[in-house]
Amino acid sequence: MPKLITIKNPKSPISEAYRGIRTSIQFSDLDKGMKVITVTSSKQNEGKTTVITNLATTFANLDKKVLVIDGDLRNPGVHRMFGISNLHGLTDVLVDNTTFVDCVNCTDIKNLHVLTCGVVPPNPSEMLASQRMKEFIENLKDNYDYIFIDAPPIGIVTDAGVISSYSDGCILVIGANETDIETAKLAKERLDSVGAKIIGTVLNKFAVKTNGHDYYAYYYQGRKSKKSNRKMNKKEKSMA
């Protein structure tokens, strides 16, 4: 069973927050044909995998055909969110060990497919920057309405910048009270330097107090719109 709040508790405030982010993305995509969206963070443990898997689920719930690809070839985590095997995946497809059809996972969520990382390679940056990878993503556009790629933290390695070069949009996840302003700025600068189309930023793990209880809140800022904070009980949230 997927470890997703949008599935376990779709009526929760945090699930509504994800739907709010989805709406912001849709408004930023008017007549632009945005299909491939990369999600990255400034550093590890800011919750990018949690964000991308829950966000993809909200799009699938709109009866859109959605694919989640684990492009974090250094520290893959998408398979754990969905409780599926990582034995074969993206890396196997890129080196022609097997086919996409044999590797892609159908989930319990209607319209949502998952391609895990597969075997962690010794040369992740080169593999992600290969012409084979670019052609692979381009070919997938004919079969899916949205393709979400979980990328490594841009503040640590260059992989997210590489993936962003063939993506239609990029979302930057920032961990509140964990990431200093300079680190966040550096992450944005690195994305800007490769021409990444940043469509928004998610402020994750933002704690507020209500009636003596701690809650997490999400804050999404797109290029032209802002979404108000959504709250959730800290016990309900499991960060990737």
CB 102 within 8 A of CB 88: yes
- Phi then psi for residue 34, to 5 deg, are -75, 115
Other C-beta atoms within 10 Å of 142: how many? 7
Q: Look up residue 73 and give its amino acid.
A: L
Q: Look up residue 208 and give its amino acid.
A: V
Q: What is the pLDDT along the chain (240 residues), one digit of tens a residue?
A: 567 999 999 998 889 999 999 998 988 776 667 899 999 999 998 999 999 999 999 999 999 999 999 999 999 999 999 999 999 999 999 998 899 999 999 999 999 999 999 999 999 999 999 999 999 999 999 999 999 999 999 988 989 999 999 999 999 999 888 888 999 999 999 999 999 999 999 988 776 554 444 444 455 556 543 343 333 333 333 334
Structure tokens at 230: 């959504």
What domains are defined for the chain? 5-236 (3.40.50.300)
Q: Measured between alpha carbons, how far is 50 from 37 in angstroms, rounded to an integer?
A: 15
Q: Measured between alpha carbons, how far is 207 from 220 in angstroms, rounded to an integer?
A: 15
Which among 68, 75, 47, 59 is positioned nearest to 157, based on CA atoms? 75
